[in-house]
Amino acid sequence: MHLPPIAKAFFRVTLMFFQSVFDVKVVAGYFSGLRRPELGLSRLARILNVKRYRGLTRQGSDGLLTVAVFAEMKIALSSKKVCLMGSCKEGFKN
């Protein structure tokens, strides 16, 4: 199966396989002190102390890193208090 060439079609196919899709940069926006231009997957991983898996293809490594970063952000945001890069705020449960 080839990827659809148009974004709208791609998202339609994605929703066939996954009920929810999250953008880690958007989720990271819930942490005060993080600015979007500064964000990248590797930077978020460093901030959250998530290690990259070596020995995989770049795509495989990025995929595992994305899942681990998202899991850490979910844990941090669901806790009572979120402290990241020296700033703290009350967390929330979704």
Quick: pLDDT tens for 19-60: 888 888 877 877 766 666 667 888 888 888 898 887 767 778
Asked, for residue 5, whether it belongs to a domain, the answer is: no
- Tally of domains within the chain: 1
What does the alpha-carbon distance between residue 59 and residue 37 come to, in Å, rounded to a whole number? 22
Give the β-pairing of 87-90 and 81-84: antiparallel
Asked, for residue 11, whether it belongs to a domain, the answer is: no
> Does the pLDDT value for residue 61 go beyond 50?
yes
Asked, for residue 79, whether it belongs to a domain, the answer is: yes
What does the alpha-carbon distance between residue 39 and residue 91 come to, in Å, rounded to a whole number? 20
Asked, for residue 16, whether it belongs to a domain, the answer is: no
CA neighbor of 38 nearest in space, from 77, 70, 90, 85 = 85
Structure pTM?
0.64
For the ranges 12-21, 65-74, 85-94, the lowest mean pLDDT is seen at: 85-94
Which structural domain range is residue 64 located in?
22-90
User: DSSP 3-state assignment of 1?
Assistant: coil
What does the alpha-carbon distance between residue 34 and residue 76 come to, in Å, rounded to a whole number? 14
